[in-house]
């Protein structure tokens, strides 16, 4: 049995809310590569560590404001569309689900949904490319549907309301400090997934704020942590 080192009560969970990027799909390393290349071409020579610290789990609007604040670079009006197009092309060629995710999804006995900072178009494309669409039919919620993005709790509260489950009965699975902060603000238990490429090889904490969430590095560890979530059939 894995020793997770922290207490987490999951006996009353009725809904699992998944973040998308870096949790369902191994996308953050691709997003980093595409975005940093485009920023570098504009003179904003941000590092990979800077991306990890300031962009993971955040919206495009946050990224744009942070680049202006720290590098004095105003992203052109066309930048967002160009980035989106380049990223979608990269996703089509390289995007995959996180390791053994489909095994997990096929065994979960509770309702599931997605709550993400990605745009509706991006998450739809990502789920299609990775053949995850059928797992999340009519239960994908994006930050475009709420007033405030993560680390505000709005997207998780919105997802819980739409799914008809009280916040305290929802389990959030996130990879970023912004998402973990949002889940806690929503009064939802949260597990950090650190099995995607952008986190699994890191030796140091990259976030500015230490998150004390229980962390799993493989999906099979969720079976060990919360066997009640898994169907016996």
Annotated catalytic, 211?
Answer: no
Annotated catalytic, 52?
Answer: no
Q: Which of 172, 173, 176 is nearest to 207 (CA)?
A: 176
Structure tokens at 225: 């942590």
Contacts of 138 (CB under 8 A, 6+ apart): none
Select which of 21, 154, 175, 211 is catalytic: 21
- Residue 155 CA to residue 134 CA, distance in Å, equals 22
* DSSP calls for 85-121: HHHHHHHHHH--BPTTHHHHHHHB-S-EEEEESS-HH
Q: Which of 89, 85, 113 is nearest to 20 (CA)?
A: 113
- Residue 98 CA to residue 171 CA, distance in Å, equals 19
* Distance set, CA 47 to CA 31, 169, 184 (Å): 13, 39, 29
The residues carrying an active-site annotation are: 19, 21
């Amino acid at each position: 049995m894995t020793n997770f080192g922290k207490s987490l009560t999951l006996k009353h969970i009725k809904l699992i809310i998944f973040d998308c990027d870096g949790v369902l799909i191994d996308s953050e390393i691709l997003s980093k590569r595409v975005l940093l290349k485009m920023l570098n071409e504009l003179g904003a020579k941000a590092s990979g560590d800077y991306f990890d610290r300031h962009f993971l789990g955040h919206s495009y609007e946050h990224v744009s404001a942070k680049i202006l604040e720290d590098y004095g670079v105003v992203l052109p009006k066309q930048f967002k569309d160009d980035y989106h197009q380049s990223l979608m092309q990269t996703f089509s060629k390289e995007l995959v689900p996180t390791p053994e995710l489909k095994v997990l999804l096929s065994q979960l006995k509770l309702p599931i949904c997605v709550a993400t900072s990605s745009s509706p178009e991006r998450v739809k494309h990502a789920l299609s490319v990775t053949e995850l669409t059928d797992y999340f039919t009519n239960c994908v919620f994006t930050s475009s549907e709420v007033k405030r993005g993560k680390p505000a709790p709005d997207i998780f509260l919105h997802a819980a309301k739409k799914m008809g489950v009280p916040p305290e009965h929802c389990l959030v699975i996130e990879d970023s400090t912004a998402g973990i902060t949002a889940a806690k603000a929503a009064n939802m238990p949260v597990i950090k997934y650190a099995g995607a490429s952008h986190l699994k090889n890191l030796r140091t904490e990259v976030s500015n704020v230490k998150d004390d969430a229980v962390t799993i590095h493989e999906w099979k560890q969720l079976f060990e942590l919360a066997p009640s979530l898994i169907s016996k059939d």
